[in-house]
Amino acid sequence: METMNSKSQDKSSVVIELTGVKKRFGRQMVLRGVDLVVHEGRTLVIVGASGQGKSVILKHMLGLVSPDRGTVKVFGRDLQQLKRRELNEIRSSFGVLFQNAALFDSLNVFDNIALPLRERTRLEEKVIRDNVMDKLTLMGMERSVDKFPAQLSGGMRKRVGLARALILDPKVVFFDEPTTGLDVHKSNELYRLFYRTQQQLGYTAVIVSHDVPKIFKLADEVALLADGQVQGCMAPEDFQMSDQPMIREFVEETMGHLYLSDEEETNFYA
C-alpha cells in the first residue's frame, strides 16, 4: 500500500520517545513496558483493540499522566523531571484533537479557537481575529463563528477542534480517535483536512485510531498496542505483511473480511 505521505524515509530526529513505560490504574495494569519513538515530521498511528491503553499512551506523551516506571522524553527532555513552567513551554508546541473535540461549552466557535491566542500570546484582538478566521476558512467553518458547540454536528465539532489544535502552529499534533462517531463522508473530509494541513504546516502527528485500514493511507508508521506493550512499529505495508503473530491476528481481524468469499464471510460473522 502506498501512503499518501510521500515524505523522505531518511532517519529523522526523534521528537517523542517512550522507554519501558509502565502504568497501573488501581488493580489494572494498563501499560506493561511500552517502548515507542515518534520521528519529526512523520505520522505515527497507534492501533489496537479497545481498552488496551492507546489513549493512555497519548496522555503520557502530553504529560497529563505520569508513568509508574520508565521515561517519556519529548524533544529530548524527560517530562517527569520538568517543572510546570518547563512542561508548559513544551506543551505550547502541541496541538490536540480530543475524541469528542473537548470544546468549551460556554464559548462560541470563535472564542474556542481564539482562547489559546488570548491566553498564551499578547497579540492584538484584530490579529487574533484574522488568525482565527484564517483557520476557520481552512476548515470550511467560517459561517459558524457565532455558534456554540451544542449547536454543531459531530463533524463540525471535530473541525473546530482541529482549528483550535492548529491555531498556535504546533510542531506536534495528537489525534485521539479523530473519526469516532463520524460517517464515512465526514471521516474522509477530516482526513483530507489532516492531510492538507500537515502538508501546509509540516507538523509531526500521532494518531490513535480504530479506522483500519483507511488510517494506514495517512500513516508513515503503524504501532500495534496489545497486552500492554507495543507489539511492533513499522511502515503500514510492512505491518500488513508482518509475520508477528499478534500483528497478523490484528490484521486478519480488522482487514481479513475484505478478502473473504461470501461463504467465508458468513462463517466469519457466525
4 binds other proteins (CB under 8 A): no
Interface residue with other proteins, options 73, 91, 158, 171 (CB under 8 A): 91
Among 14, 115, 123, 226, binds other proteins (CB under 8 A): 115
- Regarding 104 and contact with other proteins (CB under 8 A), the answer is yes
Binding status of residue 89 toward other proteins by CB under 8 A: yes
- Shortest distance in whole angstroms from residue 53 CB to other proteins: 16
Gap between the Cα atoms of 17 and 78, Å rounded:
9
How many binding residues for other proteins (CB under 8 A)? 23
Instruction: Print the SS3 string covering the chain.
Output: CCCCCCCCCCCCCEEEEEEEEEEEECCEEEEEEEEEEEECCCEEEEECCCCCCHHHHHHHHHCCCCCCEEEEEECCEEHHHCCHHHHHHHHCCEEEECCCCCCCCCCCHHHHHHHHHHHHCCCCHHHHHHHHHHHHHHCCCHHHCCCCHHHCCHHHHHHHHHHHHHCCCCCEEEEECCCCCCCHHHHHHHHHHHHHHHHHHCCEEEEECCCCCHHHHCCCEEEEEECCEEEEEECHHHHHHCCCHHHHHHHHHHHHHHHCCHHHHHHHHC
Residue 177, phi-psi category: left (phi > 0), alpha (psi -120 to 50), beta (remainder): left
Minimal distance, residue 64 CB to other proteins, in Å: 6
Judged by CB, which is closer to other proteins: 95, or 236? 95
Site for other proteins in 120-139 (CB under 8 A): 120
Q: Is 96 in the site for other proteins (CB under 8 A)?
A: yes
146-175 mask for other proteins (x: CB under 8 A)?
----------------------x-----x-
Does residue 62 touch other proteins according to CB under 8 A? Answer: yes
CA distances in angstroms from 32 to 8, 81, 213, 254, listed in the order given? 32, 21, 26, 24
Nearer to other proteins, 5 or 99 (CB): 99
Is 181 one of the binding residues for other proteins (CB under 8 A)? no
In this complex, which beta carbon is closest to other proteins, that of residue 115 or of residue 234? 115
* 3 touching other proteins, by CB under 8 A: no
Using the rule CB under 8 A, give the single segment among 30-38, 66-74, 96-104, 133-141 that binds other proteins: 96-104
Nearer Cβ to other proteins, position 83 or 185?
83
103 makes contact with other proteins (CB under 8 A): yes
Residues in contact with other proteins by CB under 8 A are: 59, 62-64, 88-89, 91-92, 94, 96, 98-100, 102-105, 115-116, 119-120, 168, 174
